[in-house]
Amino acid sequence: MLSLQGSLEHPPPGPRSPRCWRALPAALARRARPRAVRLWRLLAIPCALVLIALLVAPDAAPPGATWAQPAIASASALPPPPANSRIRAENQRPGSTSWLSPDLSRALAARLPAAGALSGALDAVAAQGPTPTPTIAASPSMTWVDTEIRGYVDQPSVNKGESIRLYVSTTKPLYDLEIYRMGWYGGAGSRQVYVERGLPGVEQPMPTPDPTTGLIVANWSVSRTLQTGADWESGVYLIRLITTEGLIGYMIFVVRDDGHPADILYQLPVATYQAYNNWGGKSLYDIQSPGGRAYKVSFDRPYAQWNGAGGFFDGDYNMIRWLEREGYDVTYATSVDVQANPSVLVGRKVFLSNWHDEYWSKVMRDNLTAARDRGMNLAFFDANNMYSQIRYEDSADGRPNRVIVCYKDPALDPMAASNPILTTVPFRDPPVNQPENALLGVMYESDWNFGISFPWVVTNASHWAYEGTGLQNGEALPDLIGYEYDKVWDNGQTPAGLQVLSASPVVNSRGVQSTANGALYVAPSGAIVFTAGTFYWAWKLDDNDYQQHGADPRVQRITANILNRMIHGGPSAAAAGATPAGDSGAGGAAAAAAAGAPAAGGTAARGATASGSPAGEATAGSDAAGGATTGEVTVGGTAAGTAPGETSTGGAAAEVAGGGPAGGDAASGKAIAASPPAAANGPLAAPAGPPLAVANPAAASTAPAPRAQPLGVPFPPGAGLPALSSAWPVALMALLASSVTALTFLISRREHHHK
């Protein structure tokens, strides 16, 4: 009753007048005022802190912090490898890590001198200026030490289903034999394909070097004939030999699939493996060969490197793991196959060379050049390619291509008089006179000690090769250049339309400041030819048990861009950074047609004139007059009126570096960056001068020498981090929240004032 009566005493009000509605905002404001003040106090300081943090974060980091990789578009955004790729299916089979061994770990340690000693020695060279190669104690891998079990195969490759003969020598009575196909396999690195236990061990005789040529031939008895399976997928196969005491040795061979027209043909560079193989005490290098180097080396002996695996774990393993992880349709062959069976180059879209592919015969080079001229793309993810000419000879029992001949001196080579073009000297030297850059676009200049690196410095960042990486001109990819490098040379043999993708300052083993270059061009056939100009490329694609150097997703993306463009086609490789329609920059259809090449969209044919080319464009062999912009790289032309920051090669003011007299490199045994005399004969002229540094000549005289780094340095501050590229949405939301709160507060203050 009380509640009812109370209700009757205070009846509900009648209809409100219009004036009541005008009073509503003030009432609401009075009620909202305390809440708005509290909310403003709560949000003002955090919002300010968020904004400050977002603005300054990209430019600062704790000392010594390793910078995160920039966000990049996945390579899968590009045309993917075929879904029915045999390699994709093969790598879905169960993998195995049983091929690993402490013996390989010891072999790795033998190949890695102390990083501190190397870094200190190279720093001393950089500080002192041009001096001889720093004196470094020889790595243990320079001295051959025999092992308890070792072996070799009778041919470096066989077609699937064919047999291969194995030659094994051991001091132990029994041994086991395991065979693995190397690849990705979920990171395991291999699949076991064959096992045989309890084979009888036989110690076979140790050969002696030929007194004239230094040739060492084992001539052992056959231990086992292995029948490969018709279902064995093409690949690199590792044979693991295990004694009853657990001692381990390795052998290596390739299974081909001659009937499969794959996208990529991967060449395992066994000729270069053999040139550096000092099993028995002799290789093609004095530093590895007590009493003097050999002039001939044989495949009929074990490999000393990596406990019998040759140079496979230096860098080929990294590249193969990455290719097979990504599912590329890849098939395999060796350098001997390119010599003996040029049909391996038919029906494949891409020829791929990796890590270190130095030793080539004239037949190999001619076969590859013919393949390019038929439209086969060439991808050299390495340096020092095709440097030394060799000849192949038969073994004493008549088996072809079992001996490599390389005198490295025309005065010693008996072929120099009778057939000069086959003389075993560097291709660029007389009497051969065929500089490598005529095919590769760039060529070897020099090197430094193993384990030292310099950053890859980006040019032409708008090029399709850099698509999706976020990289800008001048940005550095750490640890990518080493331990040998290539560069652009001004010798009259640079292919038309060469596009320079990097200009990386380095200090070589003689203390000379120079510039390393990676580049590509499009041949008249439409084939793309890319050369990275560094050994360490594969190290940035994959980390594994024996090579861990910080795989970089930006290098992975560049590699995918290049391979996918070669495989799937698309706009001309020269189209990136193209000159706008109607511009007179070289690379219009007329210029390309004059060079016999497809329209390059903005890349000059040699001798053309480029004017007003956009930033980031590479122009080969052009005269760039007035208007070249920051980031442009001009090869072989005269640059006038260039903007600050431009790098120009071959211009009137271009710096000429690294042009001392030819000399032997104490570390490698190569001749270093010297200019051969003019060609007396041969289809290509010899280099007319030393290589031209792709560097800013004004800056070169004042800038400090580039500092070498041991592998594994952190990213420099801000490297690859686009300012606020991902922070602006958060900043906008914070600003909006602050604005709403402030507006509410101001309304309440205004109403209070009027009251």
In a domain, 502, yes or no: yes
User: Is residue 738's pLDDT more than 80?
Assistant: no
Question: How many distinct helices (H) and strands (E) make up the chain?
Answer: 16, 32
| 602 and 613 Cβ atoms separated by less than 8 Å | yes
Hey, what amino acid is at 15?
A: P
In this predicted structure, what is the pLDDT of residue 272?
97
| 663 and 671 Cβ atoms separated by less than 8 Å | yes
In this predicted structure, what is the pLDDT of residue 121?
38
Question: Sign (positive/negative) of CA torsion 335, 337, 343, 344?
Answer: negative
Give 19: exposed, middle or buried? Use CB within 10 Å, 0-12, 13-18, 19+.
exposed
In order, the DSSP letters of 459-502 are --TTSGGGTTS---TT-EEEEEE-SEEEE---SS-PPTT-EE-B
Mean pLDDT for 521-543 is 98
In this predicted structure, what is the pLDDT of residue 143?
77
Residue with tokens 């041009």: 130
| 314 and 237 Cβ atoms separated by less than 8 Å | no
Instruction: Give the residue among 401, 552, 539, 406 at the shortest CA–CA distance from 469.
Output: 552
Q: What pLDDT, in 10s, does the model give residues 563-611?
A: 999 999 864 333 333 322 233 333 333 333 333 333 333 333 333 323 3
Cα(326)–Cα(316) distance, rounded to whole angstroms? 16
In a domain, 107, yes or no: yes
In this predicted structure, what is the pLDDT of residue 589?
32
| 553 and 720 Cβ atoms separated by less than 8 Å | no
User: Is residue 369's pLDDT more than 90?
Assistant: yes
- Give the SS3 label for residue 359: strand
Please name the residue ranges forming H helices in 352-465: 362-373, 415-418, 437-440
Residue with tokens 């194995």: 166
User: Is residue 132's pLDDT more than 80?
Assistant: no
Q: Between vectors from CA 247 to CA 241 and to CA 248, what angle results, nearest 5°? A: 35
Cα(404)–Cα(418) distance, rounded to whole angstroms? 19
Residue 80 lies in domain? 76-568
In this predicted structure, what is the pLDDT of residue 84?
60
Q: Which helix (H) or strand (E) holds 361?
A: strand 359-361
Q: Between vectors from CA 560 to CA 558 and to CA 564, what angle results, nearest 5°? A: 125
Lowest mean pLDDT among 358-362, 402-406, 546-550, 725-729: 725-729
In a domain, 577, yes or no: no
CA distances from 334 to 251, 266, 268, 358, 677 (A): 15, 8, 5, 13, 33
| 440 secondary structure, DSSP code | H
Hey, what amino acid is at 372?
A: R
Instruction: Give the residue among 319, 236, 234 at the shortest CA–CA distance from 270.
Output: 236
Cα(348)–Cα(261) distance, rounded to whole angstroms? 5
Cα(241)–Cα(243) distance, rounded to whole angstroms? 7
In this predicted structure, what is the pLDDT of residue 27?
52
| 253 and 158 Cβ atoms separated by less than 8 Å | yes
In a domain, 271, yes or no: yes
Hey, what amino acid is at 306?
A: W
In a domain, 87, yes or no: yes
Q: What pLDDT, in 10s, does the model give residues 639-686?
A: 333 333 333 333 333 222 333 323 334 333 454 343 333 333 333 333
Give 597: exposed, middle or buried? Use CB within 10 Å, 0-12, 13-18, 19+.
buried
| 326 secondary structure, DSSP code | T
Residue with tokens 């930033």: 615
The two three-digit tokens of residue 429, written as one number:
């030297």
722 or 349, which is more confident? 349
In this predicted structure, what is the pLDDT of residue 23?
53
Cα(154)–Cα(223) distance, rounded to whole angstroms? 11
In order, the DSSP letters of 575-598 are GTTPPPTT--STTSHHHHHHHTS-
Using a pLDDT cut of 70, give the percent of the chain over it.
Answer: 60
The number of folded domains in the chain is 1
In this predicted structure, what is the pLDDT of residue 109?
81
To the nearest whole number, what is the mean pLDDT of the chain?
74
Bridge partners, 456 (sequence order):
477
Taking only Cα atoms into account, the Rg of the chain, rounded to an integer number of angstroms, comes to: 32
Instruction: Give the residue among 52, 56, 60, 53 at the shortest CA–CA distance from 717.
Output: 60
In this predicted structure, what is the pLDDT of residue 314?
95
In this predicted structure, what is the pLDDT of residue 281?
95
Pairing verdict, β 330-334 and 264-268? parallel
User: Is residue 402's pLDDT more than 90?
Assistant: yes
In a domain, 63, yes or no: no
Cα(63)–Cα(659) distance, rounded to whole angstroms? 40
- Give the SS3 label for residue 47: helix
- Give the SS3 label for residue 433: coil
| 345 secondary structure, DSSP code | G
Bridge partners, 426 (sequence order):
388
Q: Which helix (H) or strand (E) holds 167?
A: strand 163-170
In this predicted structure, what is the pLDDT of residue 58?
37
Instruction: Give the residue among 326, 329, 255, 266 at the shortest CA–CA distance from 85.
Output: 329
In a domain, 471, yes or no: yes
Q: What pLDDT, in 10s, does the model give residues 370-388?
A: 999 999 999 999 999 999 9
On whether the pTM is more than 0.85, the answer is no
| 471 and 561 Cβ atoms separated by less than 8 Å | no
Instruction: Give the residue among 376, 377, 356, 233 at the shortest CA–CA distance from 305.
Output: 356
In this predicted structure, what is the pLDDT of residue 569?
86
The two three-digit tokens of residue 567, written as one number:
């495989």
| 403 and 372 Cβ atoms separated by less than 8 Å | no
Q: What pLDDT, in 10s, does the model give residues 196-254?
A: 999 999 999 999 999 999 999 999 999 999 999 999 999 999 999 999 999 999 999 99
The two three-digit tokens of residue 83, written as one number:
């879904």
Give 27: exposed, middle or buried? Use CB within 10 Å, 0-12, 13-18, 19+.
exposed
